[in-house]
Amino acid sequence: MDALTDLYETAYLNDIIIINKKMVDFLALSIMDEDGDCFVALNSYNLKTQREEVTVLAHDLGHCMTGAFYNRYSKLDNINQKEYRANKWAVHKLIPFEELQEAFSNGIIERWELAEYFEVTEDFIDTVIQVYQNEGLLAG
């Protein structure tokens, strides 16, 4: 199963509604309503590639799966914590550490090669490295 299909299945199995919504300032936006239902608005009109869609969707599903929500009045440190939790979930979902190690063992070490191999954006590879460094699994 490819990553995008897996993400949509994850959303379905966890009762997370994904809608396509044209937005000016966002590629995606996740919210939880007062009943605890989670929704992701995905701006597929502005997503240029499937890799970008995978990366953006995984991040916003990460907000839903971890309950990492904040509002515009939240303090910056709180926002950063919630964003990190969403990113960490996305990293573990898309690129488990064992699969990253396997890629390294096969000589896939350049940022662009890793992005191509895992079908994510190069920026997401930076996030992957940061998360696994923070967990002590990769040297800094």
Q: CA quadruple 56, 57, 63, 69: dihedral positive or negative?
A: positive
Whether 7 and 58 have beta carbons less than 8 Å apart is answered as yes
Neighbour count for residue 16 (Cβ, 10 Å): 21
Contacts by 31-35, CB closer than 8 A, 24 or more apart: 31/69, 32/64, 32/67, 32/69
pTM of the model: 0.93
Question: 6-35: per-residue pLDDT in tens?
Answer: 999 999 999 999 999 999 889 999 999 999
Strand arrangement of the beta sheet that strand 38-42 belongs to: 17-20, 38-42, 28-32
Q: What percent of the chain has pLDDT over 90?
A: 88
E-strand ranges in the chain read 17-20, 28-32, 38-42
Position 1 pLDDT exceeds 80: no
Question: 87-108: per-residue pLDDT in tens?
Answer: 999 999 999 999 999 999 999 9
Position 134 pLDDT exceeds 80: yes
pLDDT of residue 31: 93
Rounded to a whole number of angstroms, the CA Rg of the chain reads 15
pLDDT of residue 73: 86
